[in-house]
Amino acid sequence: MTVDLHTSPSGEQTGWRAFRARLAGRPTLNLVYRTAVAVAGLVVLAVGILAIPYPGPGWAIVFAGLGILATEFAWARRVLGWLREKYRQGMAWYRARGPVLRVVTAIATVVVVVATVWVLGTFGIVGSWIGVEWQWLRSPLKW
């Protein structure tokens, strides 16, 4: 015998499914809700995509954004499944390449991070905090 955690013993939907069923019965409210989920999911997804090259949880944020979108959109569920599989394949390929590729990738990541931090002016800001005003620390962009 299987137990459905989303229905009560009397057969009624409970929890999240009941909430979504009530929303689905009100088209305007349903549209507002789906729009809010779309906006939130796309914002989280965009932040994750921007964070991918940097140390930290870039891919986790991408998956979270797609997970948010997948709660309401079938296309996002398909993309999430496809991306998970591609991520697994990519990481398996990366691990199989050996230490030379890992070192080259680590160096490239450090270069991207340092260049971005420099362009955004972080070195100049931190330098000014400690009294170092070297010209080359300043961003090439004139903020």
Structure tokens at 63: 């998956």
pLDDT value at 77 more than 90: yes
For residues 141 and 43, the model is more confident at 43
pLDDT value at residue 9: 57
Q: How many residues does the chain have?
A: 143
pTM metric for this prediction: 0.62
Quick check: 65 and 44 in contact, CB under 8 A? yes
Share of the chain above pLDDT 70, in %: 90
Which pLDDT score, from 0 to 100, does residue 1 have?
47
Burial grade of 41 (CB within 10 A; 0-12, 13-18, 19 or more): buried
With both helix axes pointing from N to C terminus, report the angle between 58-70 and 27-51 in degrees, rounded to the nearest 10: 170
Residue 7 in this model has a pLDDT that exceeds 70: no
- Domain map (residue ranges) of the chain: 1-96, 99-143
